[in-house]
């Protein structure tokens, strides 16, 4: 049932894969930087270590990125666009209208897709979340390019389901926040806090999604909180 969403998203992501323009060394720098930033945090990472891991001279980094911060931004900023890829599809709600009668099916499809995406880009996501609080321009970008963009597309959908009585009548922002928290909370535990523990990923994701879906479900809820 969730196939179609995954399908357009895959196509979409490919169109974002513009790294073909980079030289091989630049790619190596980028990967090394992601590694080191994710491992030690931006401020505690040294360009000399990045250079070493990328097997280039330190000067080479500064030929491609004027400052260490620019290197950070060049990693984090594109991630924001990619993160919201499915939501900015031109026919986002149209497609949904046709295919997902139930909020649950829709949510499940999207969340599975985004959870999968986050999983695949974990180091960059980690860097992004770690650094947003310390770089106002990142925060602003995130609010503008992720928060607002996603809300803009998803609010009507949430409203529709709220009107149909499928999900609780709370502000759509809250719906988004609660959903994202649960997913990020899982990823954090799974990959940052306790990566060494054995995990049954499929089951955990199911549990998490159920939590979200029942947490937002309007059915079985007392008339007034």
Name 217's bridge partners.
167
Stretch that binds DNA, among 20-28, 83-91, 109-117, 132-140 (CB under 7 A): 20-28
Q: Is 23 in the site for its own copies (CB under 8 A)?
A: no
69 binds, among its own copies, DNA, none (CB under 5 to 8 A by kind): DNA
The interface region with DNA, picked from 51-59, 80-88, 156-164, 215-223 by CB under 7 A, is 51-59
Q: Return the one option of its own copies, DNA, none that residue 25 interacts with (CB less than 5 to 8 A, by type).
A: DNA
Are 84 and 136 in contact by the 8 Å Cβ rule? The answer is: no
User: Could you give the CA distance from residue 172 to residue 151 in angstroms, rounded to a whole number?
Assistant: 8
- Is 205 one of the binding residues for its own copies (CB under 8 A)? no
Task: Tally the residues of the chain.
Answer: 225
39 binds DNA (CB under 7 A): no
What tokens does 111 get?
């969340």
* C-alpha span between 129 and 125 (Å, rounded): 6
Q: Which stretch binds DNA (CB under 7 A): 53-61, 131-139, 166-174, 183-191?
A: 53-61
Q: Does 67 bind DNA (CB under 7 A)?
A: yes
Q: What is the Cα–Cα distance from 207 to 171, expressed in whole angstroms?
A: 24
189 is in the binding site of which of its own copies, DNA, none (Cβ under 5 to 8 A by kind)? Answer: its own copies
120: which 2 tokens?
């695949």
CA dist 196 and 192 (Å) reads 9
Residues 96-155 that bind its own copies (CB under 8 A): 126, 130, 132-134, 139, 142-143, 147
Return the SS3 of 167. Answer: strand
């Amino acid at each position: 049932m969730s196939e179609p969403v995954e399908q357009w998203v895959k196509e979409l992501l490919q169109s974002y894969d513009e790294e073909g323009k980079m030289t091989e060394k630049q790619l190596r720098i980028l990967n090394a930087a992601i590694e080191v930033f994710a491992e030690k945090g931006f401020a505690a990472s040294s360009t000399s270590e990045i250079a070493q891991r990328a097997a280039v001279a330190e000067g080479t980094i500064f030929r491609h990125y004027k400052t260490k911060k620019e290197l950070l931004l060049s990693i984090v900023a594109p991630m924001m666009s990619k993160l919201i890829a499915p939501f900015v599809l031109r026919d986002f709600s149209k497609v949904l209208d046709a295919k997902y009668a139930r909020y649950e099916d829709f949510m499940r499809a999207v969340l599975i897709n985004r959870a999968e995406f986050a999983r695949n880009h974990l180091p960059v996501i980690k860097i992004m979340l770690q650094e947003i609080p310390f770089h106002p321009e990142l925060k602003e970008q995130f609010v503008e390019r992720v928060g607002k963009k996603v809300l803009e597309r998803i609010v009507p959908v949430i409203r529709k389901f709220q009107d149909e009585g499928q999900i609780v009548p709370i502000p759509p922002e809250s719906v988004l926040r609660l959903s994202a928290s649960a997913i990020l909370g899982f990823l954090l535990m799974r990959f940052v806090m306790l990566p060494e523990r054995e995990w049954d990923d499929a089951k955990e994701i199911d549990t998490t999604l159920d939590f979200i879906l029942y947490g937002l479900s309007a059915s079985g809820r007392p008339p007034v909180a």
